[in-house]
Amino acid sequence: MERMVCSCTGSHQLLYRKNGTHYQVHCQYTGWARYHVSYTSSQKLIIMNIRKGHLRNYVLFSFLSMLAAVGSMGVIYMINQIINKYFTGTKVAASSYFIYFLGALVLFVVSRWLVSIAIIGFTQNLLIKTRMNVLEMVLRSPFQNVWKSKEKIFTALTRDTDIIVGASVTIVDILTNSAIALICFIYMGIIAWQLLLCMLVLLIVTLAIYFFYVGRARKLFIKAMTFQDTFIKYLNEILSGFKEITLEKQKGFDIADRHVKRSILSASALYRKAHVTFLNNRIIGIMSFYVFIGLLLLFLGNVFNIQDRVVVNFIFLILYVFGPIETLVLMIPSITQANASLKRINVIEAQMDVVDSDNAQGRPYPFFEELRLENICYQYRQEEEEGDRPFAIGPVGLSLSRGEVAFISGGNGSGKTTFLNILVGLFRADEGIVYVNGDRVEKDRWIDYQRLFAPVFNDYHLFDEFYGIPVVDVEKAQEYIRVFELERKVSVQKDKFSTVHLSAGQRKRLALIAAMLEKKPILVLDEFAADQDPPFKRKFYTEIIPYIRQEGFSMIAITHDDTYYAAADKLYKMDTGSLHTVIAGQEKPVYILS
Ligand SMILES: Nc1ncnc2c1ncn2[C@@H]1O[C@H](COP(=O)(O)OP(=O)(O)OP(=O)(O)O)[C@@H](O)[C@H]1O
């Protein structure tokens, strides 16, 4: 039996156990549910939605839809009865028909209105849950998987979830219209079963043609969506590089010409093709109905020897049932699109390699004594279109004890940042072993391992509030602000700095203060001092690093500042993917072959 957090709300615990080809999942709100082991979490979400309270909603929607269908059919039944009276020359009792007519109409309008109101609230809830589910999946995924699927994730969280939720809501329309069609067919069967049979044969043939083409349209939708990802990618490129583009507009127009226009045009051509396929199908459907009415008027009534009155009733019913059937058919594009979106989310999910949720609960290392990396090897994955052999690191090793400061130097492109990314666990090493406090770090403690580090990357992101810090030590924060000479610029408010609108060098100092406030044992810096002014750079190496050490932090820092190498306890040098220790000016490779 394992525990995980509910994928619906993320706020309560689920118990789950594997039983043969199925998982049994227990949610405190819904009781036990059963999933096939191969279900993706999106599918689980849908099943969970149906189970969790939403089953009640679906039953309510179906019930109201049935009432609407009965009301609607009541109106038609009344009209047919009146037609029959006219045919037989019987006097119509207007007052009694009027009451029944009004009753059926009220039933239809009220139940239809109620179901629509209920759906509006339901849709919004479903949208929130679907988005949160995808977001939660992203937050639990390894860095590299998310990084390479950024555009897809963006569209999954925006467009795909909208499409899926939109289509989920059509379930109610499907129910209502199917119910109307079914009741109508039963009524048709009662008055002329031979005509109903002929009509059903025609309907089945038409639907068979329809579904054959729907498969093609779905493929077109999927292809169009990939062009939309490209569109988002280059839109981001324009927005990220907008400073440069503002100075030289041609850059923006080049991106638009080379990539954006192409992806928009390709996506639009595919969407057009898919919608034309649906349109053609619709026309075939409409034609087959009219052909059937013609056949009925001219031949079928005589062939089956059916009274004129019944033929008129039947035609009236055909014209009536045509509306619900057409509505059902018109919903197929949105369901097809939703199916394509669901497939995309499932593919993203498969690529994400989501970390088990019970692992995300965390068993943090209670203390830090020593970190050791041995025989670490890593090679970038080769993209299909790239010809050169991808850059590789290793085998390399490194060790760091509590309170130690280690510098990594080396030329541009030698692999320092790549190694740092492996060290903090953003990149998974292909080979090698990591030890914390002498214990090998196994896969199930990877998240705990990553929590040992507080980084200031070269391309760091300064969050505008303190996240992931339950209680901020305001006094300490003010002290750090003084040490980093920012007291005239910044102060600490409850859960954020008073401002993050500072110069580049000042922002980086603030990023380091934020990292220190996380109270993680190891600070990781990538060329922190590169954009600091010379007096502060000197202060950083000669005063702040000893202060940081005194505060109990260990540090691994990439630096090119050879004047200050003496500030570190250990100096490593990276040289085209190999790491060397530098002791008294002597370099020695480190990979610790066991
Ligand atoms: N995303 C990537 N995909 C493939 N190869 C990459 C990627 N990022 C970097 N590389 C390769 O890895 C090599 C090392 O890059 P890295 O950023 O680790 O160097 P560095 O030592 O930190 O350089 P610098 O001092 O300029 O920051 C580069 O020469 C590049 O060819």
From the number of C-beta atoms within 10 Å of its C-beta (0-12, 13-18, 19+), residue 443 rates as exposed
Query: Which residue among 409, 417, 430, 579 has the greatest number of ligand 1 atoms within 8 angstroms of its CB, and so is best to mutate?
Result: 417
Q: What's the token pair of residue 446? A: 């990877």
ipTM above 0.95, yes or no: yes
User: Could you tell me if the CB of 415 is within 6 A of ligand 1?
Assistant: yes
Q: Do the beta carbons of residue 484 and residue 532 sit within 8 Å?
A: no
User: Could you tell me if the CB of 417 is within 6 A of ligand 1?
Assistant: yes
d(CA 152, CA 229): 6
- Helix, strand, coil percent values for the chain (each to nearest 5): 60, 15, 25
d(CA 35, CA 15): 13
Closest residue by Cα to atom 27, ligand 1, is 412
Q: Which fold has domain 370-589?
A: Rossmann fold (3.40.50)
| Phi, psi (rounded to 5 degrees) for 195 | -70, -40
Alpha-carbon distances of 315 from 140, 182, 202, 237, 259, rounded to whole Å = 58, 16, 15, 59, 54
Q: Tens digit of pLDDT per residue, the chain (594 long)?
A: 333 444 443 444 444 444 555 445 444 444 444 544 444 555 555 544 544 556 777 778 878 888 888 888 888 888 888 887 777 777 777 777 788 888 888 998 898 888 878 877 777 777 787 778 778 878 888 888 888 777 788 888 888 888 887 777 777 678 778 888 888 888 889 988 988 888 888 888 888 887 788 778 878 888 888 888 888 889 888 988 998 898 888 999 999 999 999 899 998 999 898 888 888 877 887 888 888 888 887 888 788 888 888 888 888 888 888 888 888 877 877 787 788 887 877 777 777 766 544 444 567 888 999 999 999 999 998 765 556 788 999 799 999 999 999 999 999 999 999 999 999 999 999 999 999 999 999 888 888 999 999 999 999 999 888 888 888 889 999 999 999 999 999 999 878 899 988 999 999 999 999 999 999 999 999 999 998 999 999 999 999 999 999 999 999 999 999 999 999 999 999 999 999 988 766 777 777 654
pTM, to two decimals: 0.70
Lateral strand order in the sheet of 453-456: 453-456, 522-526, 554-558, 405-410, 570-575, 578-583, 586-589
User: Could you tell me if the CB of 410 is within 6 A of ligand 1?
Assistant: yes
Residue closest to 41 by CA, chosen among 163, 156, 159 = 156
Q: Where along the chain do its domains lie?
A: 1-39, 40-354, 370-589
Residue closest to 328 by CA, chosen among 172, 118, 160 = 172
Q: Tell me, rounded to whole angstroms, the distance of Cα 143 from its chain centroid.
A: 15
Does residue 425 come out as left (phi exceeding 0), alpha (psi in the -120 to 50 range) or beta?
Answer: left
Q: Where are the beta strands (DSSP E) in 457-558?
A: 522-526, 554-558
d(CA 265, CA 274): 14
Query: Which residue among 384, 391, 562, 578 has the greatest number of ligand 1 atoms within 8 angstroms of its CB, and so is best to mutate?
Result: 391
* Per-position b or e across 256-284, b if 16+ CB within 10 A of its CB: eeebbeebbebbeebbeebeebbeebbee
Pairing of strands 578-583, 570-575: antiparallel
User: Could you tell me if the CB of 552 is within 6 A of ligand 1?
Assistant: no
User: Could you tell me if the CB of 414 is within 6 A of ligand 1?
Assistant: yes
Closest residue by Cα to atom 8, ligand 1, is 418
CATH no. for 40-354: 1.20.1560.10
Residue written as tokens 């100096």?
571
d(CA 418, CA 432): 15
Residue closest to 43 by CA, chosen among 397, 147, 51, 4 = 51
User: Could you tell me the sign of the dihedral formed by the alpha carbons of 587, 591, 592, 594, in that order?
Assistant: negative
The amino acid occupying position 97 is: Y
Alpha-carbon distances of 131 from 121, 138, 358, 432, rounded to whole Å = 16, 11, 21, 37
Q: Is 136 helix (H, G, I), strand (E, B) or coil?
A: helix
User: Could you tell me if the CB of 413 is within 6 A of ligand 1?
Assistant: yes
